[in-house]
Amino acid sequence: MEDLMQKIVSLAKRRGFIFPNSEIYGGFGSSYDFGPLGAEMKNNIKNAWRREMLQSQDNIVGLDSAIIMNPKIWQASGHLSAGFSDELVECKKCHHRFRKDFLERDKCPECGGELTDSKKFNLMMKTFVGSLEDEAAMTFLRAETCQGIYVNFDNIVNSMRLKLPFGVAQIGKSFRNEITPKDFIYRTREFEQMEMQWFCEPKSADEYFEYWKEQRMKWYLNLGVKKDNLRFREVAKEELAHYAKRAADIEYKFPFGWKEIEGIHNRGDWDLSNHSKCSGKELKYEGYYPYIIETSGGADRGFLAFLIDAYEEVKGGRTETTEAVKEVEVMLKLHRSLAPVKVAILPLLKNKPELVKKAKEVYELLKPHFICQYDEAGSIGRRYRRQDETGTLFCLTVDFDSLENNDLTIRDRDSMKQERVKIENLVDILKEKLEN
Ligand code: ATP
């Protein structure tokens, strides 16, 4: 299974999905950059989430709050106390540091050396604001996006004239000084969250908790993640975060085990009551503190789950080429709304100027409507395979008949069926295919 992770990491780099960060300087502590196709796919994930929250669901509004905020917020939220710390141990010999609960034995996994007793290590990322680097100028990069929502509670209710129950949804970067970032982009120190806070009456909190659990699971399923690779895990009382009354995780079966990709939390009135107490501004709705049901997903963890789930190897190859293909062909069966490139336009031969000209005209025609790629290098079979490997949905081939009849073939990634269509109908046909 580890082997699969190596293949994913290698494909991600080779085909422009994910690059190691600061690579030419030797990398930078489990940090990654999303390449051209990765950036596109990540935006598709975020757009799918926004469509779900802000269009398909009722009564949810958006927000884009700042990453750097008044440090008092983190005092009030409980993030500066022991509750937001992990147990850290250090090797007495090589001085590597580890998160204690990740260790399988009580010896250093790097050198076998003896470990120190554990101590609490707070995960907030410190930074300084302004020209003085003293205590007074110190603040933190946000560790979760939701605090920006809580402290804007009044602004949002008043400006949008909202009635309970309602939700506020936000996507943005969060930072945690993880002791042991690992498993590619699964656990990093800088990551992106997609969080929705649902404000409701305390008496309906349990009901909404169940509702949002189901809705969030459905979202992953509707985006094509295999049912067998998803499950819920109810978080045990003693494991609950400091703010949570109840929590359930949505877990994905990664090659390195079942792991959380999203949490659904009943945060009770912890956040609004604490911010009221600490700020002096009463954040009540009609005389009481609403309860909050939170859905908190990671765009990066989701990305990794979608990528792994879509990865397929076809032995012996599935595309006809003139080259002998005995080896394995890779394809990414990404959901149509997540695939980074929707359409590839391929002239049959690159040394025939009339084919190239026609193909480029098709590219110009489609470019305003879809994310397209024009590709003329290599045999047609090789180009199909290259597009399959990055999940491109449709390959359009311009051949000699196209010049006569003003048509081309559309090849469908999944069925590999080829269909001949008129170029003047192409935009409508592709739109219909992408919508259904
Ligand atoms: P874990 O137990 O794995 O550290 P958590 O329970 O602390 O995660 P939450 O605080 O519930 O995570 O955060 C909500 C979501 O944010 C997670 O489900 C995950 O998708 C994402 N997330 C949290 N920490 C990280 C991280 N270090 N790297 C990438 N994504 C993260």
Strand pairing class (60-62; 85-90): unpaired
50 close to 219: Cβ distance less than 8 angstroms: no
Task: Please state the atom number of ligand 1 nearest to the C-alpha of residue 260.
Answer: 18
- Look at ligand 1, atom 24, and give the residue with the nearest C-alpha: 187
pLDDT the model gives residue 2: 62
- Look at ligand 1, atom 11, and give the residue with the nearest C-alpha: 263
- Look at ligand 1, atom 8, and give the residue with the nearest C-alpha: 260
- Look at ligand 1, atom 25, and give the residue with the nearest C-alpha: 187
424 by Cβ neighbours in 10 Å (0-12 / 13-18 / 19+) ranks as exposed
**Model confidence, pTM:** 0.95
Residue in 147, 187, 194, 306 to alter for ligand 1 test, most ligand atoms within 8 A of Cβ: 187
Q: Each residue of 96-115: pLDDT tens digit?
A: 999 998 898 889 999 999 99
| Cα Rg of the chain (Å, integer) | 25
Q: How far apart are the first and last CA of the chain?
A: 34
pLDDT the model gives residue 30: 86
Task: Please state the atom number of ligand 1 nearest to the C-alpha of residue 262.
Answer: 18
Task: Please state the atom number of ligand 1 nearest to the C-alpha of residue 249.
Answer: 18
Residue in 31, 170, 189, 191 to alter for ligand 1 test, most ligand atoms within 8 A of Cβ: 191
- Look at ligand 1, atom 23, and give the residue with the nearest C-alpha: 298
Tokens of 434: 């992408």
Cα–ligand 1 centroid distance for 191 (angstroms): 9
- Look at ligand 1, atom 28, and give the residue with the nearest C-alpha: 187
Cβ partners under 8 Å of residue 151, min gap 6: 65, 69, 73, 275, 279
pLDDT the model gives residue 326: 56
pLDDT the model gives residue 321: 56
Cα–ligand 1 centroid distance for 428 (angstroms): 41
Domains and CATH numbers, the chain: 2-67+139-307 (3.30.930.10), 334-435 (3.40.50.800)
Cα–ligand 1 centroid distance for 174 (angstroms): 10
Residue in 234, 254, 296 to alter for ligand 1 test, most ligand atoms within 8 A of Cβ: 296
In b/e form, how buried is each residue of 234-272, taking b as 16+ CB within 10 angstroms? ebeeeeeeebbbbbbbbbbbbeeeebbbbbbbbbbbbbb
Residue 167's beta-bridge partner residues? Answer: 60, 198
Task: Please state the atom number of ligand 1 nearest to the C-alpha of residue 193.
Answer: 16
- Look at ligand 1, atom 2, and give the residue with the nearest C-alpha: 260
Cα–ligand 1 centroid distance for 146 (angstroms): 13
Q: Each residue of 153-191: pLDDT tens digit?
A: 999 999 999 999 999 999 999 999 999 899 999 999 999
Nearest partner of 11 among 372, 323, 252, 340, judged by Cα: 340
Residue in 260, 265, 267 to alter for ligand 1 test, most ligand atoms within 8 A of Cβ: 260
Cα–ligand 1 centroid distance for 335 (angstroms): 24
Tokens of 46: 């975020």
Residue 337 CA: distances (Å) to CA of 103, 283, 399: 39, 39, 28
d(CA 65, CA 83): 24
Residue in 240, 301, 304, 306 to alter for ligand 1 test, most ligand atoms within 8 A of Cβ: 301
pLDDT the model gives residue 90: 92
The ligand 1 site (C-beta within 6 Å) comprises: 176, 178, 187-188, 191, 193, 260-263, 296-298, 300-301
Instruction: Identify the segments of the chain with pLDDT beneath 50.
Output: none
Cα–ligand 1 centroid distance for 298 (angstroms): 7
pLDDT the model gives residue 254: 98
Cα–ligand 1 centroid distance for 402 (angstroms): 51
Eight-class DSSP state of 134: S
